[in-house]
Chains A and B, each alone.
Chain A
Amino acid sequence: MTNNDLLLGRVPSELNTRPEVHNLGADACLFSVRSDLTIDGTVQDVWVVVTQTKIFTVPTHSQPTALITGPFLLKDAQKVQTRHTVGSGFLQLLIDGTYVDVARYSNARREIFGKVRAELERLIQGHPLNTEALVHPSEFACTKCGLPLPARRAVCPRCAGGRSVFFRSVGLMKPYQNSIVLLLCILVMGVGLDLLPPYLTRILVDKVLTPKENIHWLPLILLGLVGASLGRQFLNVIIGRTSSMIGTRVSKELRERLQTKLMSLSVDYYDRHSAGSLMSRVLWDVEYFQGFVWQVAQGFLLNVILVLGIGAVLFMMNWHLALLVLLPVPFVVIGTIFFWKYVYPQYYRLSDSQSKMSQLLTGLLQGIRLVKLFGQEKREEQRFSDSARYMQNARRSVEMSVATFNPIMGFVFGLGGLIIWYAGGHRVFEGHLTLGTLMAFFGYMGMFYGPISAMSVFSNWLTGFMSAGQRVFEVLDANVGITDEPEATPLNNINGAIELRNVTFGYDPYSPVLKNVSIKIEPGQFVGIVGKSGSGKTTLVNLICRFYDPQDGQVLIDNQDVRTLAQHDIHKHVALVLQEPFLFRATIMDNIAYGRPGASPLAVMDAAKAANAHDFIARAPSAYDTKLGERGAGLSGGERQRISIARALLCDPKILILDEATSSVDTESEQEIQKALVRLCKGRTTIAIAHRLSTLKNADVIYVIDEGKVAESGSHEQLLELKGVYHNLVRIQTELTRLES
Chain B
Amino acid sequence: MSDTTLPTTSDNRLSITGVRRLLPETATIFEGAFSLLHCAVKGDQMYRGVFAVLMFPIRHPDRYISLRYTDEKDKVGEIGVIENLSAFPKETQTLIQAVLKKQYHEHIIHRVYGVRHEFGLLFFDVETQRGRQEFIMPWRHDRAEDFGAEGKVLLDVNDNRFIVPDVLALPTKDQRRFTNFIYW
A-contact 0/1 string along B16-30, CB 8 Å cutoff = 000000000000000
Q: Name the interface size band of chain B.
A: 35 or more
Closest residue on chain A to residue B70 by CB atoms? A99
Q: Is the interface of B mostly helix, strand, loop or mixed?
A: loop
Taking CB atoms, residues of chain A closer than 8 Å to B34 are 95, 98, 100-101
* Number of cross-chain contacts by CB at 8 Å: 112
Taking CB atoms, residues of chain B closer than 8 Å to A106 are 105, 158, 160
Write the nearest CB–CB distance from B138 to chain A, whole angstroms: 4
Chain A, range 695-718, C-beta contacts under 8 Å to B: 707
Cβ-neighbour of B105 out of A37, A83, A97, A100 (below 8 A): A37
Given contacts A352-B184, A471-B120, contact A86 B105 (CB under 8 A): yes
Cβ-neighbour of B121 out of A41, A83, A150, A348 (below 8 A): A150
A104 pairs with B73, CB closer than 8 A: no
Given contacts A140-B157, A352-B183, A373-B1, contact A39 B36 (CB under 8 A): no
Taking CB atoms, residues of chain B closer than 8 Å to A470 are 119-120
Interface status of A474 (Cβ within 8 A of chain B) = yes
B160 pairs with A87, CB closer than 8 A: yes
Write the nearest CB–CB distance from B149 to chain A, whole angstroms: 11
A41 pairs with B120, CB closer than 8 A: no
Complex: how many Å from CA A100 to CA B179?
43
B101 pairs with A40, CB closer than 8 A: yes
Given contacts A41-B102, A87-B104, A157-B121, contact A107 B158 (CB under 8 A): yes
Chain A, range 132-181, C-beta contacts under 8 Å to B: 140, 147-151, 157-158
Closest residue on chain A to residue B155 by CB atoms? A107
Interface status of A375 (Cβ within 8 A of chain B) = yes
Taking CB atoms, residues of chain A closer than 8 Å to B119 are 147, 157-158, 470
Complex: how many Å from CA A158 to CA B120?
10
Taking CB atoms, residues of chain B closer than 8 Å to A450 are none
Closest residue on chain A to residue B50 by CB atoms? A98
A43 pairs with B72, CB closer than 8 A: no
Complex: how many Å from CA A85 to CA B107?
14
B106 pairs with A149, CB closer than 8 A: no
Taking CB atoms, residues of chain B closer than 8 Å to A707 are 73-75
Taking CB atoms, residues of chain B closer than 8 Å to A85 are 51, 102-105
Interface status of A654 (Cβ within 8 A of chain B) = no
Interface status of B63 (Cβ within 8 A of chain A) = no
A108 pairs with B138, CB closer than 8 A: no
Complex: how many Å from CA A140 to CA B72?
32
Interface status of A202 (Cβ within 8 A of chain B) = no
Taking CB atoms, residues of chain A closer than 8 Å to B183 are 345, 348-349, 352
Complex: how many Å from CA A150 to CA B118?
12
A374 pairs with B36, CB closer than 8 A: no
B120 pairs with A474, CB closer than 8 A: yes
A41 pairs with B158, CB closer than 8 A: no
B158 pairs with A140, CB closer than 8 A: yes
A148 pairs with B136, CB closer than 8 A: yes
Given A98-B34, A373-B1, 6 additional A-B pairs, CB 8 A? A87-B160, A97-B72, A148-B121, A151-B138, A376-B4, A707-B73
